[in-house]
Every structure is written in structure tokens, then in C-alpha cells.
Structure 1
Amino acid sequence: MNHSLFSKWPLSALLIFCAVFLACKKPVDPANDTHLSKNKTPLPNLAGIPAYPLDWEHIDFMPSPAGTPPIPVPWSSGLGGRKMDEDIVFDYKKADGWELVYNTFNNNVVYNPAYFMLYNKYRGLLRTYFYFSTPANYPSSNLNYQLKLLGTAAANSPILNFSSKDVIKINDNAGAVSQLQQHMVSSTGSWYAAEFEIAYDHTIGSTDYQNLQFEWSINPNSITQISLNGKETGTISGTIEHQQPAPNFFANLPNGVIDAGMKIGSKKAAENLKFPKSEQLKNAIIDAASNGVSGLIKGFLSGLLGGGGSTTVAQQVNLKINSTIETSGTATVSSQLFTNTFSIPGTLNNQNSPGFYPSYNQPLGLFYLSAEPIIKVKRTTYNLDSPPSLEGARVRFDFSIDEPSHQILFNPALLAVADISNLRKQIILTKTFGSDVLDRDASILSSEIIAEREIYEVERLTLVGSLPTSILTSNILMRISFDVTPKDGSPKITVVKTFKSTGQPI
């Protein structure tokens, strides 16, 4: 450097030069993404950079640098490919609760893959749209999306507990959930999307971002044969979810069998499921979807009913119905398309995290329970005959919810924008009895079919004979439902969740 040259400048000129230099310097594009931008140089790791803004509702093409091929928005018609569940394509309006969390589309740098993430504050859904432009075909028959928790607080967080099962165990926290979709990877540019339902973690505001983060990855999977409830299908025709920390959706399965949740996004999606040898299962799922559309809580244990009211598409119904899925042959992972770590909205100090921090920064999820519910079971024996006879022997079980055993923890961020009403709790019994044992006339219950399982919604159960309480206490659930009514006048959403409960004889 020529020090003599600078020594001739007055101090004021030096200050002006420095100010202009700093003002004109382009900001470095941040990313904690494991990929490179299109210029093939690693992106520097900076702290505390806001995600790029995106007015996704009012654009036809995504932001991109001049001279790069235009990318149409995911819901455009006839301009690009998309590989995502049809029931989510047109459900993206801010008026229906969607908020921007992350976005990498911008006018300066092209990321491959590029993505943006939305969160629905009325439904507790986290959705990411990915745009891939791959150099070649991937030898896969389906795509596995995985959402995983990282950090020292991961084991104690329930945030993924709503994502894979229709029955939630309060303290059985999911460290990772996987979603399998039937779509293959295209060799041309195409949109892909996946969403996961998030449970509220009431400790999130006091948890440092370094101790709890999301890792989202995408892996092509291949499997030669798939069966649902023992019925061969050969292909995945819907979306299924289960707890799985491995990139291979079918890894580490005992005898190739998993209990997974089928995600039913609409009645049409249920009708399109392929169960060539199990019409009973398909019909039960269609009935559950029909009930959900009409607001009837029957035939399912987990669901989000309504929402999406600003569009002309049919009413949203997001059900999760567990079913046994069997596989045979060899499941393989061809490669990894994407992996990235995200700071979770609402965590402490996340605006200091390297790379992007979230645009929407309130805690995620609608609610959770403080503890496993306790269901009190009162047993009474009597006899219909006098003198007593073997045929007249009866045992009556009366069920009641121990309200002090648990609290419903609603997310304050939800309560700030919506009202909760029509809260209802139902006792569900998963053990059923034949007509030779069940005295239906002396019972207060109704039967439901969940996939191919019968359950009882029960207040009183009367059986022939003198059976002990222990046959019931491990088979009791509590189903909770309530309405979320947005304060801005948007359509209400009915939330349905079912929790494993402890039966307590009294």
C-alpha cells in the first residue's frame, strides 16, 4: 500500500472514502446450507442475517438474478413441473394463516436447490417448497423427506410428536420423523414439497437456538414391493409418515414391518389410494375423510379439519391414520439431494445464529399436554337374576377423566391471533368385545372403525361375566377436539388429537 499517497489526504476525505467503500460493498449471501451457490464457491458463515423477503402470493416467477432461467411459482399452470401432494398446491394464502419462515430466492445468488418455508399459524403445519434442477435422473421410486431435531434439548422436546402417529404418547418424544412420497426425482427443473405437523413446546422460548435446531433432508428411496395392512400394492399412492432417524425410510425394520401414519389430505386423496385387495380399508379411509369434510369427528384419531377458505378448492381435511406397512426386497438410498440445518422459530437468541434466522419468529405448534391423562375406571358387579346365575352375571365399568392429571398448554402465539372454542374430550377404548360378551343395551358407547380397527367412544361398558379392570386399563385413550377461530374472520379449523392415557381403578 502507498502510505505516502494516503498521508496526503485530509482526515475528512479519508472518512468519506471509508464510508463510501463500506456502503457500496455487497452483503455476503449467508447460508448454513451444505450446498454451494451456482458460482461453486462456499458461502461464508455469518451470524444474524434475516431470510430474504418474499411476496409469494403476488408473483408469477420467483426472484432470481438477471440472465438466469425464470422459475415459475409452485402453483402456476403450464409453466413448470411440480411433484407434491395435490391437496397442498393451492393452499398457500396469508389469509389462511401462512407465514414466511425461510427463503433463499433472491435477485443476487442462485441456490441449487433453492427453497422457501411457510408455517400455518392456525393449523401448526410447517411446509417447505424445494426447487431442484438435477444433472441426471435418480434411480428411485419415491422420495423420503426427513425432519430431525439436533442439539442437547432434542430428547426433551415434543415438537415432532404430532408428525407421524395418530396416537401420541406424551413422554415418547420423536427425535426424527420421515415422510415418504410417491414422486420420483425429475431430470428437469421441478418443484417438490413436504409438510410436517408441529406440536407446541412450551420451553422453546427459554431454549437457546444452539441447543435445539431442525435438520431437514431429502433422500431418494427405492423399494421393490410395498403392502398396506398385508395387502400387496407394489407402489406408494399416498404419503406416509413414521419415526425414523435413518435416511432410508425402510431402514432397521423388524421383518420389514412398520406402523406408519397415512397422511390423507382430502377426500379425493383418499379415493385415489390404491388398495386393490383391501376395499374395506379403502372404504373406511374414504368414510373418515368424508366425516372430516362434514365436521364429524368419527373414524379417525388425528386430524385438522377446515382452513384454506380463501381458495376455491374443497375444504381442507388433513387426517393421519396409522396402518401396518410391509416391505419386501431391498430398500436403497441412491444419494442425498438436500440437507440443511435451520434455527427453530421462537428459540432464544436465534437472531445470532450463523446464516439465516427465521422471518416468522414465534413459537411453532398449536398445543400440547402437560402430562399423560389419567382415566378413572370404576368397576361394579351385579347379577340380572335372582337367585344369581352364571348367565346373569354382569360387570360394569364407568369411565371418567381425571381433569387435574393434565393441562392443555396452548401456544400464546396462537391465542394472540385466534380464539379456542368447543373444547371436547372423549374417552376411547381400543379393546373391543364380541356380542356374546358385550351387553350393549347396558353400555353407553358408540363404535367407530379406524382403518380396519374397531374402537369404542365410551362412557360406560357392561360385559357378561366378571372380568377384572386390568383388561381395560392399558387400552384407554383420550381424544381432544377444539375449534380454532381466527380473529381476522378467516374460516375456523377443527383440531383433533388423541393421547395415550393411564387407566386408574377407583
Structure 2
Amino acid sequence: MLNAVMFTSCKKHFNSSITAEGKDGIQPFSFNWETVDWMPTPAVVGQSLINPPWIGQGSITSIYGIDVVNDHKASDGWVLVYNTFNPNSPGPLQNPYFILYNKYRGLMRIYFYVTSPISNNSDYLVDGLTASTTGTTSLLNFLGNDIVDVSQNQLSYSQIEPGPPDGSAPLATNKWYMLQYELAYDPNIANTNYNNIQLSWYTNYNSISKISLGGPLIGSVNGTVGSSTSNINSSLLNGVRVVTTAGLSLAGSSAVNNASGNFSGVNPIVGPDGRITAYTPTTMNNKLGLSNETFTALQKGLNSAFSAATGNIPGAVAGLLSAIIGGSSSAQTVSLTLNAKLQLDGTSASRGSFPASPTSVYVPGTIIDPIAAQGYIPLYANSLGIFNLSSKPIVNVNTTSIKVNQNGGTYYQYNNLYTVNTSSINYLWNSTVINSTSTGASIKNLKTEVVLIDPDLSANPVIGGNIGIIGTHTVITGSSVGTTYTVPRVQPRNNYVAVRITFDVVPNNGTTPKSTIIKTFLANLVNN
């Protein structure tokens, strides 16, 4: 049972409350999350003192690296959006939460504290985010995708969270949890009535025996794995399930390096009905479930991106298609997404919903009537996200061919040059962030590159560009990309192309560190 606590200490506790006098909409209690020793809770029977998420009992340090734990400073761009902690509450708080958002990185973090008793054993926390709207929105398009198709809006996303390194059950009472989501800028939000769109998230628990992300099956989830096309929680009902559009998300500069080593796994033996009948042991160089080749490429790509971000070298991001690097004064941090082929071997014995789930809130930046609105209204009133594209970019391909004599016969040599049509890229910048004010930021070192995805290599083409492995894809990248095929007849078609956009977000205040954003968009291919 929770203990009753009276607040008689002289320690820092909270700032003065912000109220909504004469209004139906509730302005959340505002507090300084950086300096409090205890969260703002009421002095009532049944309410215990609660440490902030980054220190003390139940902190998130058991799951995330210290760089992520300490990355919450207002000076680095974090703002308080919602909060259900309140010292003036008439009774004990039930599973309270607060939401921080980084306006220079487009990252939203939900920190919630469990007060409800957890009676079921669980292996992993499964959470999801949904945009409930009368129309559509691109707000969630960046989630789980390292190649974004701007012509297809996604309205829901689910993911599996990593558990503590010691293998203990992740769901427990009197414990903090953090959910992170990368949001895209949707300019239509500013013209949308608050009643026409809400953000809701849920938290469930489930059991997972083994997981693979394109490599051998392993016994634990060590990164956040998400999908916009499949509810991961329900996919475990039937045992083995493959989610081809899954994305692996990693938070923290140590997330990749700490996954390196020699680890044991198994390769599945699949029966005629598609189910696993047995396993054969194997070893791997990472504990993420990636293939050895994919993980090695990821390591190299992340290291080059860190060097580029530190040395102000735009575009040197081989090995990554989607990432946010830097932006923290405490340590260089990263949030990245990698495409993967997800295979889960699980059970549904302890599958269920988390207490008080789902939870919904109004979307910041919408037109909110503080008198008519019910419940909490956001403390941060600006639109979320840094940027987006209004339409698919275009990659031009110029193809020439000549006849050549080879191997005693006549062949055709096809020379292809792929270039970005820069005039086709219609940027949508969030003007509440990208502006000339002291609290705004500027875009610097903007660069675009061609990404030729899964080219046909069977005819041994001559490659012009950087070829490598990114997740499940073989890619050729560069400011321009070339392929030369010498074949008896028609050359193989390579129509799967994208544009990788890299830029720095540099705050105008001169003190907040810059962030480097890498985002790749599916493109239309046009012959010219």
C-alpha cells in the first residue's frame, strides 16, 4: 500500500500553479522539471513522494543511457506541453504523466509513472500513438519509416519498447516509463479546430520469446521496434508473425555501440505450415537481432554521421536514412530509424492493457477555444514538427546507350545518370520554429542526395556513387548516382528511388547546440 506523506521538507518541490480562472479548459500545472527534487503531488493520504524520472527510485536509467536520461533541459529546446501532476489535486494521483517536446528536433517524450498495482507478469511494454481526426494528417508520417512516402499519410503507429538489461519485467508499480515519438510538421494543423483531431496513446503488455530483425532470432528486444501497418501487440496472438514494414528506432549515442559484441542466437527451421519447428544455434555481432552485415554498416554509418555533425560536414551520412543527431548540451545524442524485417516468436499468455489506457490529448497548434474545451489544454500552443514536404520529390534519370562488341557478340551499354530535381522539392518549414526571432532557429548546410534503392546488381553494373547496406536495403547514394549496364538486350529496371535531405537546425540564441536532421523521402523517377 502507498504511504501517506506530508510535504514539510524545505527541498525544492514545485513552482506556482497556472490556473484557468473562469474557463472550462484546464491549464496544466506548470513546474520546473529540471530542478525539482520531487514531482508536484498533493499532500493527501495515499500519496507518496515521487522522484523525477531521471533520478532516484523507479527512474528510467535502467533502460536508457545516461545521455538520453540527462537530455531534458529547457536550454536545449525542451518545453512542457502537458502535465497531470498537481499539488492541488483533491486526492492521490493515478498513473500521472507529463509530456516534453523538443522544438528544435521535433521529438515528443511522454513520461508516465505507474501507481496502479501490476498483477500480470510481462516481458515487454507495447505502446502506440494514433491521430484521431475527421480528416487526415501527416503528423505521424515520420514514425517507424526511414523512407517516407508523403503521398500516404499514416494515422497510427505501434512499437515494442526495450526492457531493462537485467531481464526483469518492464511493467511494475512505482516506476517511470518513457515513450518517444518523432513528429512531422503538418501546416494544416494551424487551421484545424481542436475538436477535429486528437492524439491518443496506449500502453499494453505482452510476452515475446524471440525476435529477429533480419538476422538470427534472439531472446530479448534491445531497441524500440515499431510498425505503422501492423498492430504489434495483436500480431503475437498467432505466434510467429512477420511485419515487413517494421522500423528499429534507437535513442542515445551509446545505443549502437553497447549492442556490439559476441552474442548467441538461433536460426529457425520452418515447417510446411510456416511455423517454426526447431532452432539451430548461431552467433552474431550484435544483440539487436540485425544481421551481422547490417549491424556493421549501421555502426559505420552512425560514426560517420557523428563526425559529420561535429565537424560541420553536411551530407556525410552514409549508412543512415533517418536520424536526428546532437542538440544536447550534456552529450551528443541520436534518435535514428532503420528499416527491418521483423519476426516475432511470442505468446499471448499475459497480453493485456495498461491501466487507464488509452489516453488522449488535444493537438498543440490547433485552434483551441479555452472556454468550450473540456479537460487539459496544451501549455505549448505552437504546431509540432520541424519540416515536411508537400509532395514527392523528383529524381531525373538520363539514359544513353551504344552498341559494343563483347565476348564475340553485340551488346548494349546503357549509361544511366540519376540526379535530384531540386526545383521539385517543396519544403514545408514550421515558421513557429524556423524564423529570425531569438527563440527561433535557422536552417543551414541543406543538402540533397539521390538514393537508388535495391538496384539490380545481377548484371554486374559499373557503379557511380557510394554503395552500401542500410537495414534491409542495398542502396547507392550520392549527389548524383550512375549505373552502367552492358547486357545482350534490355537493361534491368531500377525504379525505386528516394531523396535524402540533410540539414542543421541552428538555434538563433547562440547557446543551444545545433541538431543535424537526416530524412529520406520516396521520389518519382522521371526520364529526361
Identify if the C-alpha distance between structure 1 residues 270 and 388 changes in structure 2 by more than 3 Å, giving closer, same or farther: closer
CA distance in 2, matches of 1:498, 1:426: 9
Residue number in structure 2 paired with 1:372: 392
Query: Is 1:73 the equivalent of 2:86?
Result: no
CA 1:254–1:471 in 2, change beyond 3 Å: closer, same or farther?
farther
- Counting only pairs closer than 5 Å after superposition, residues 347-366 of structure 1 correspond to structure 2 as 347-349=366-368, 351=370, 352-366=372-386
Indicate if the aligned counterparts of 1:166 and 1:301 stay in contact, CA closer than 8 A: yes
Q: CA RMSD in A?
A: 2.7
Any idea what SS the aligned residue of 1:60 has? Answer: coil
1:182 and 2:162 aligned: yes
For residue 324 of structure 1, what is the aligned residue in structure 2?
A: 341
* 1:85 equivalent in structure 2: 64
Using the TM superposition, give the Cα deviation of residue 47 of structure 1 relative to its aligned residue in structure 2, in angstroms: 2.9
Pair 1:396-2:415 in alignment: yes
Residue 496 (str. 1) matches residue 522 (str. 2): no
Q: Tell me the alpha carbon deviations over residues 178-197 of structure 1, each in whole angstroms, 9 at most, x when there is no partner.
A: 12113334443011011100
Q: Is the 8 A contact 1:158 1:174 kept in 2?
A: yes
- Quote the Cα distance in structure 2 between the aligned partners of 1:491 and 1:174: 31
Tell me by how many angstroms 1:223 deviates.
2.0
How far residue 244 of structure 1 moved from its aligned partner, in angstroms, is 5.1
SS of corresponding position for 1:288: helix
C-alpha distance in 1, partners of 2:72/2:147? 28
Q: CA deviation at 1:403?
A: 3.3
Deviation string 1:464-497 (CA, Å, 9 cap, x unpaired) is 2266577112x11111111100011211111110
Distance 1:375 1:75 in 2: 45
Could you say if the C-alpha distance between residues 81 and 425 of structure 1 is closer, same or farther in structure 2, counting changes exceeding 3 Å? closer
Say if 1:299 and 1:330 are closer, same or farther in 2 by CA, change over 3 A: same
Are residues 1:481 and 2:498 paired? no
Q: Which among 294, 307, 312 is matched to residue 307 of structure 2?
A: 294
Name the SS of the counterpart of 2:98 in structure 1: strand
Indicate the structure with greater strand content.
2
Residue identity in the other structure for 1:375: V
For 1:198 and 1:414, the matched residues in 2 are separated by 14
Distance 1:189 1:347, change over 3 A: same
Which structure has the bigger radius of gyration? Answer: 1
Change (3 A) 1:413 1:390: farther
> Using the alignment, how far apart are the partners of 2:407 and 2:257 within structure 1?
53
Question: Which position in structure 1 is the counterpart of 2:431?
Answer: 412
CA distance in 2, matches of 1:334, 1:119: 28
CA contact (8 A) 1:230 1:325 kept: no
Q: Deviations over 1:342-390 (max 9, x none)?
A: 00000112534210100001000011101011212111002455x9974
Q: Distance in 2 between matches of 1:74 and 1:246?
A: 28
Does 396-405 or 97-106 show the bigger shift? 396-405
What letter matches 1:462 in structure 2? T
Partner of 2:453: 430
Contact 1:391 1:465 in 2 (8 A): no
Match of 1:173 among 142, 153, 162: 153
Find the counterpart in structure 1 of residue 30 from structure 2: 53
Matches within 5 A, 1:146-295: 146-153=128-135, 156-183=136-163, 184-243=169-228, 246=231, 248=233, 250=235, 256-258=241-243, 259-273=245-259, 276=264, 277-279=283-285, 280=292, 281-295=294-308
- In structure 2, do the counterparts of structure 1 residues 118 and 329 end up closer, same or farther at CA, with 3 Å as the change threshold? closer
Corresponding residue for residue 333 of structure 1: 351
Alpha-carbon shift at residue 282 of structure 1 (Å): 2.8
The AA in structure 1 aligned to 2:105 is: R
In 2, the alpha carbon distance for the partners of 1:345 and 1:424 equals 30
Q: Answer with 132-141 or 268-277: which moved more.
A: 268-277
Q: Number of matched residues?
A: 454
* Contact 1:60 1:73 survives alignment (8 Å): yes
Q: Name the amino acid aligned to 2:503.
A: F
* Residues 415-437 of structure 1: CA deviation (Å, up to 9, x unaligned): 13000011111111013354852
Q: Is the 8 A contact 1:175 1:245 kept in 2?
A: no
- 2: CA distance, partners of 1:350 / 1:446: 52
Q: Which amino acid aligns with 1:283?
A: T
After superposition, the C-alpha distances for 1:239-262 in whole angstroms (9 at most, x for unaligned) are 112115747263589961013111
Structure 2 CA distance for partners of 1:216 and 1:434, relative to 1, 3 Å: closer
Report the more deviating stretch, 330-339 or 121-130: 330-339
* Paired letter, 2:199: F
How far the C-alpha of 1:392 sits from its partner, in A, is 5.9
Compared with structure 1, are the counterparts of its residues 467 and 345 closer, same or farther at alpha carbon in structure 2 (3 Å cutoff)? farther
CA pair 501-189 structure 1, distance change in 2 beyond 3 A: same
Letter in 2 for 1:487: N
Change over 3 Å in CA distance of 1:432–1:391 after alignment to 2 = farther
Q: Normalization by structure 2: what TM-score?
A: 0.80
